[in-house]
Amino acid sequence: MRSLTLAEARDRAELITVQSYAVELDLDRGDQVFGSVSGITFTCGSPGADSWVDVRARSVEEITLNGRRLDTAAIRDGRLTLPGLAAENHLVVRATMAYSHDGQGLHRATDPADRRDYVYGHLFLDAAPTVYACFDQPDLKAPYDVTVRAPRDWVVLGNGAASEVAPGQWRLASTKPLATYFVTVCAGPYVSVRDEHDGIPLGLHARASLREPLERHAAELFEVTRRSFDYFHELFGIRYPFDEYHQVFVPEFNAGAMENPGCVTLRDQYLFRGAATRDELLSRANTVSHEMSHMWFGDLVTMRWWDDLWLNESFAEYMSHRCLVDATDYTDAWVDSSIVRKVWGYGAERSPSTHPVAGVEALDAQSALQNFDGISYAKGAAVLRQLISFVGDDAFVAGVRFYLSETAYGNGTLADFLGAIERASGRDLGAWSAAWLLTAGRDTIAVEMEPGPEVEGRAGVGAAHLTRTPPAAQPADRPHALDVAGWTDGAELVRLEVTVTQDRVALPGLDGGPRPAVLVPNAADLTWARVQLDRTTLAALPAQLAHVPDAQARAVVWSSLIDGVHVAEVSPLTFLDVFEATWTAEANASILARMALYAEHRIVAHFLPREAQPAALARLARSARDLLGQADEGTTRSLAAARLFAGTTDDETLLRSWAAGSGLPHGLEDDGDFRWIVVRNLAARGLIDATGVDGYRAKDDTLQGGLNALMCRAALPDAEAKAWAWEQLTGRHGRSNYEMVHLARGLWMSPDDALVADYVERFFTDVPAMSGWVGEDALSRVVLAAFPKVVSEETDALSSAALRREDLTPGVRRSLVDADAELREALASRAAFAADFQASVGQV
């Protein structure tokens, strides 16, 4: 489907001003299609000119422009030509649209728990024309009047307050001006919990089968919502600019959440069916606050074109963490950011697909989506923290208020935002912006120390310098405001605040003092950089890291280790050495849980050769067993230990007992999600068959249960199971976006490469071809999940050949570039540390 270009968008915006939309949706036509009537009132700045409106329908029944009928066959490639426009125009398009199953457009899902259907709209980035005819670009905002016909037992929610005016007939209140991609309707037999805060009606909604976790988590969700409202009202000085505030937990959602004004949609995995670790609750709270901050930055003020999408996401990423720290009990939110969000962003920065935070002109809408990644979120947020260090927090907040008030209900640009900050601060941001926003890459920060005389029997420091090394391919003069801190046996020996404006800066605060056992540049994680630990610190980590009392610094150390593994400077076995020596003593929930996941699913599964993986998994299982034995029951520590042990142990007797519900750790007796971790381990080891998996599926007849069952069946280590999984993944079976991802994840779980070797070459032909029936956003995620996990030169050669093809869609190409980069990282690591891996084989 043709993607809107920047030039076309500019031309259309100069010509067209949209005054209002009236949209009628008929959701009572069965489970395949729905009716859509779009009434658009707009003006044309050059009467007599032609333009077009976007519509991608199953069929179009009638089109009228200013009372005259247009030929329904005039739609070409999703565009309806509008000839001979008047100064004032009214267009009506009556169409039949198709529900989607890939998370884009109007998605319809069936809950196997009760066989009832649920619908929600997700129109980001350019899916609005699959729901209603519109001028689909972010700078043609307009108010909406929406009416919905739905089955009589359904609830309808949307951007405006919904009221049922007759059985099955719903009217949504008129909205403020909205960009097309923010429009949503959620409809189905949703259950609800309602509240009110500061005059704003609040609602939480979910599938009927999730009533229990919805009600169990409602108090926590409302508390974060209320505190976020209060914080943003005070910080921005502008009241919440829309109507009611609903948060709808929807099935099979492609992202974490979407900031539709007045009706935020979130993935319903956030309603944890079983036990949840504190970091999972923190992540959910961060998402709630993140989406709310968008009500101002993104919804009230929207970027003019997609190349400034970072303005939305970087700002919300920063503000949500700031809000959690200042206004909620999640005061360690920046630690979580370091070990989750920045690790994700650093991965994006390492890839050949890296790009500047801003200033990359997206020539069309779909190409903009390729830069919607960890750089847009995590790096952008880190850059905003550096901007605050540069201009001061008071000036930053004042500038944000200028920007929001002056462009309210309209569209803004990077120049508008920086101009507002410059006015508030009196600082010229040209050079700063060029270095931080308009140049890709990240500097490497390290500390060099010359030996000095002993101090109280310890090695001393003669002279110390902090070095800043810009990447050779993306040189820039980035100023850094950061700190350097050091510890020995848990005692903080030094903490220096440093402003780095040169590539080599003296650290006189270290000169003549004892050398800390662990020295951490950027210990408070204030800047965006690769932290390179010195050799002495790296060697001391197994004995010393657990004693460092600063969780933020420990997170920076772990992030540095991850970076080092990915660039083949730190052995994966060194990572596991530090993990085994320190993990059981870790007190921070985010570090504890996330490093367990990273160790199991990235370090072992990706960087270790197959023959070294059993011994490494045994090490992880040993750590998990030790922590499970010492952690208090029902705590995050106990749950993280149980999950890691369930996924890594080869104790068949225990696994079968836990799968049967016997002898489970406290708090996990009725936890279906935990049982699937156990079943996945059993399946991957060939200790159950497809019939056994189906038996566990029968005990958990839910959407999540079905997804886990697909993954476990695909993980079975036999040729028949792999063939079935591949056919289900790549065939036209109407599989949802989530089902395809879970099939792909299970497929590559294999005790050896030979079992899945046939699917390596097939991936590069069969999966890209799915662009014919799978949406771009969903397929991009499938490509990442389905990319071959056989780390070999042959896979590398096939991947390189695929990237030379000219028929790949932008989303598929971007995902292939990133997956190929990760493959090359694994190959480089395996080559660099081959002798270490060989020595580790057989060591348990």
In order of their start, the domains of the chain are 6-189 (2.60.40.1730), 302-436 (1.10.390.10), 443-527+532-570 (no CATH)
pLDDT per residue as tens digits for the range 22-55: 999 999 999 999 999 999 999 999 999 999 999 9
pLDDT given at position 367: 77
Residue 209 C-beta-side C-alpha neighbours within 13 Å: 20
Paired tokens of 416: 């508008």
pLDDT given at position 843: 54
CA angle 137, 143, 144 (to 5 degrees): 95
CA-based nearest residue to 704, from 344, 274, 90: 274
CA distance 165 to 144: 18
The mean of the pLDDT values for the chain is 96
CA distance 192 to 218: 10
Pair 187, 119: CB distance under 8 Å: yes
CA-based nearest residue to 292, from 354, 221, 346: 221
CA distance 675 to 665: 12
- Would you call the peptide bond into 125 cis, given omega within 30 degrees of 0 as the criterion? yes
pLDDT given at position 370: 74
Contacts of 51 (CB under 8 A, 6+ apart): 12, 15, 16, 44, 81, 82, 85
CA distance 271 to 215: 9
Contacts of 843 (CB under 8 A, 6+ apart): 615
Pair 215, 200: CB distance under 8 Å: no
Question: Residue 604 gets which letter from DSSP?
Answer: I
CA distances from 791 to 612, 758, 785, 798 (A): 13, 14, 14, 12
> For the chain, how far is it from start to end, CA to CA, in angstroms?
54
pLDDT per residue as tens digits for the range 554-601: 999 999 999 999 999 999 999 999 999 999 999 999 999 999 999 999
Which residues are annotated as catalytic?
Answer: 291
CA distance 297 to 316: 7
pTM: 0.96
Pair 155, 192: CB distance under 8 Å: yes
CA distance 88 to 47: 9
CA distance 77 to 289: 39
Report which residue type is found at 314: S
State whether the Cα torsion 598-604-608-610 is positive or negative.
negative
pLDDT given at position 438: 95
Name the stretches of the chain with pLDDT < 70.
1, 842-844
Contacts of 839 (CB under 8 A, 6+ apart): none
